[in-house]
């Protein structure tokens, strides 16, 4: 009995060993790039000293967290990360559904493709280029908005990079502008999959365009919408570092409305040399982010099981 088992195992190894060799480079890479840094999260509980390194610096318990949560920063970065994400998710999905629905009704394939190509352009350029584009409009002295809109209208020019009140709108606009072409693709695929017979039957019954949208398109998109929403909620503790770092051009006076957890961690690590707080904020993000992914997946499984990730 035991003998056949061993023999079986030998046979299996003989048959499958090339597959394990194939996986080796990827597994080694993931181990280095993704798993080793997870152990480095211990940094959040240490008073980091360069000479001692990550794993041998003296422990300090929860001190880093105490300092972090005693400052106003913890509240500000959490609020900004969450609020921006909520607005991006709601408006982004709304716009994506509208655009996907319109794109789907464009009859000529060439026209449809041209539209789609153009609205995808913002998605493929780097956020650094986007920061340049935004700067061309917003710059205080040479910007387009001041020179060619506000001044000709007899209004006072605005120093955009110094005034916080405009930035929630600017960042939301830039985020939607960059992502709408991308996010409507998924909805477009779902809409294209709806049985055209449903629409024909509804049209025969005299249903208006709006009625068809509300009673056919939306119900058919329900599971896609729910899934995308919940997946987005799983990532709600993470922000697009480039958007919040580049587009406001690191202007210090805008920090109350532009700092998110990701930019805070970066500034702590590189500029303010406050590794303890930076590591604590990173740990806070990893942990809460992880819990949110698990929770949101649980919700997906409840809502539509085939769309759950695990």
Partner 1 sequence: MVENKKGYTIFLHTFMIILCVLCLLPFILLIVVSLSSESSLLTEGYSFFPKEFSLAAYEYLFASPTIYKAYGLSILVTAVGTAVSIAVTTLIAYPLSIKELPGRKFFNFIVFFTMLFSGGLVPGYMMWTQTFHIKNTIWAYILPNLIANGFSIMIMRSYFMTNIPKELLESARVDGASEFVTLWKVVLPVSLPIMATIGLMSGMAYWNDWSNGLYYVTDKKLNTVQVFLNNMLMNAQQLDKVSGAGLDMNALPSTAVRMAVAVAGALPLMCVYPFFQKYFVKGMTLGAVKG
Q: 222-251: which residues touch partner 1 (CB under 8 A)? A: 224, 227-228, 231, 241-242, 246, 249-251
CA distances from residue 160 to 80, 259, 281 in whole angstroms, order as listed: 19, 16, 29
User: At a CB cut-off of 8 Å and minimum separation 6, what does 257 contact?
Assistant: 80, 164, 167, 168
Range 164-223, binding partner 1 (CB under 8 A):
177, 180-182, 185-186, 189, 209
**Token pair of 70 as six digits:** 């005693």
Place of tokens 């035991």: 2
Task: Verify binding: residue 155, partner 1, rule CB under 8 A.
Answer: no
Query: Of 172 and 307, which CB lies nearer to partner 1 in the complex structure?
Result: 307
Question: Which of 241, 301, 235 shows the shortest CA–CA distance to 270?
Answer: 241
Shortest approach of partner 1 to residue 156 CB, angstroms? 15
Task: Verify binding: residue 161, partner 1, rule CB under 8 A.
Answer: yes
In sequence order, the β-bridge partners of residue 251 are none
Task: Verify binding: residue 156, partner 1, rule CB under 8 A.
Answer: no
What are the DSSP calls for 32-49, one per residue? IIIIHHHHGGGGGGB---
Contact 296, 234 (CB under 8 A): yes
Binding mask 33-72 vs partner 1 (x if CB under 8 A, - otherwise)? Answer: xxxxxxxxx-x---------xx------------------
Query: Of 84 and 187, which CB lies nearer to partner 1 in the complex structure?
Result: 187
Task: Verify binding: residue 295, partner 1, rule CB under 8 A.
Answer: no
Binding mask 100-119 vs partner 1 (x if CB under 8 A, - otherwise)? Answer: --xx-xx------xxxxxxx
- Positive/negative CA dihedral, 237, 241, 243, 247: positive
Return the ∠ at Cα 252 (arms to 67 and 79), rounded to 5°: 55
Shortest approach of partner 1 to residue 195 CB, angstroms? 18
Task: Verify binding: residue 260, partner 1, rule CB under 8 A.
Answer: no
Among the listed residues 10, 23, 86, 90, the single contact to partner 1 using CB under 8 A: 23
Query: Of 69 and 241, which CB lies nearer to partner 1 in the complex structure?
Result: 241
Among the listed residues 4, 5, 18, 152, the single contact to partner 1 using CB under 8 A: 18
């Amino acid at each position: 009995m035991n003998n056949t088992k061993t023999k079986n195992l030998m046979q299996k190894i003989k048959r499958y060993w090339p597959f394990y060799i194939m996986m080796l480079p990827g597994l080694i890479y993931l181990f280095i790039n993704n798993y080793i840094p997870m152990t480095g999260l211990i940094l959040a509980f240490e008073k980091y000293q360069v000479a001692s390194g990550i794993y041998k610096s003296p422990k300090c318990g929860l001190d880093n967290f105490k300092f972090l949560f005693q400052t106003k920063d913890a509240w500000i970065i959490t609020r900004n990360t969450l609020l921006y994400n909520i607005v991006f998710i709601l408006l982004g999905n709304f716009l994506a559904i509208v655009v996907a629905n319109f794109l789907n009704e464009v009859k000529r394939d060439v026209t449809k493709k041209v539209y789609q190509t153009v609205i995808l352009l913002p998605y493929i350029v780097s956020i650094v280029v986007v920061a340049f584009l935004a700067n061309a409009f917003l710059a205080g002295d040479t910007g387009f908005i001041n020179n060619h809109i506000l001044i000709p209208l007899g209004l006072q020019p605005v120093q955009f990079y110094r005034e916080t009140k405009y930035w929630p709108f600017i960042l939301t606009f830039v985020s939607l502008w960059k992502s709408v072409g991308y996010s409507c693709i998924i909805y477009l695929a779902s809409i294209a999959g709806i049985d055209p017979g449903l629409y024909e039957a509804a049209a025969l019954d005299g249903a208006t365009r709006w009625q068809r949208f509300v009673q056919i398109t939306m119900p058919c998109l329900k599971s896609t919408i729910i899934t995308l929403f919940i997946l987005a909620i799983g990532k709600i503790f993470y922000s697009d570092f480039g958007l919040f770092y580049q587009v406001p051009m690191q202007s210090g006076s805008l920090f109350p409305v532009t700092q998110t957890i990701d930019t805070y961690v970066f500034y702590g690590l590189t500029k303010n040399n406050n590794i303890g707080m930076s590591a604590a904020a990173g740990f806070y993000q990893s942990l809460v982010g992880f819990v949110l992914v698990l929770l949101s997946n649980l919700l997906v499984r409840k809502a539509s099981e085939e769309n759950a990730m695990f």
